[in-house]
Structure 1
């Protein structure tokens, strides 16, 4: 977690909210389809067009490779991480 210190468990994030003076009222995990259908899937045709426009450009190819690697990591490890939204009320 050294690369992204804000990643933590839900109970620990709720404890951080409480320590900051908030009363946690709700939280929810972003559903998988938000990632797969609404984030990653629409990227593919745009990535293809970008690669076509910048054919032969190593930086462009590296950018898209990084995005696709991120998607493959999500697909492989999605049961272990995701986005959680927290709602709290100031005390």
Structure 2
């Protein structure tokens, strides 16, 4: 972040429930709609498969990693 010209101001981690209940769970219904709307579209199917893979990986390894969000301010240098 600093090498890109930004000063770190803050960072935060969202609780696990934000990912499981508010992000991955609602995706299931939307993914089904998306696949029906784009039936036969290989790119759409692969996109959803990758989203599902990410959700499975998070469920399996969430005790060992997470997502951190950083807030930075453009440096005056």
TM-score, normalised by the number of residues in structure 1? 0.61
Q: How many residues align?
A: 73
Q: Determine which of 50, 54, 62 is the counterpart of 2:38.
A: 54
Unaligned ranges ≥5, structure 2: 2-7, 73-77
- The aligned residue for residue 40 of structure 1 is 24
CA RMSD of aligned residues (A): 2.7
CA shift, 1:57, in A, is 1.1
Aligned-partner Cα distance in 2 for 1:60–1:86: 30
Unaligned ranges ≥5, structure 1: 1-16, 18-23
TM-score, normalised by the number of residues in structure 2? 0.71
Aligned-partner Cα distance in 1 for 2:24–2:69: 20
Q: Determine which of 32, 48, 54 is the counterpart of 1:70.
A: 54
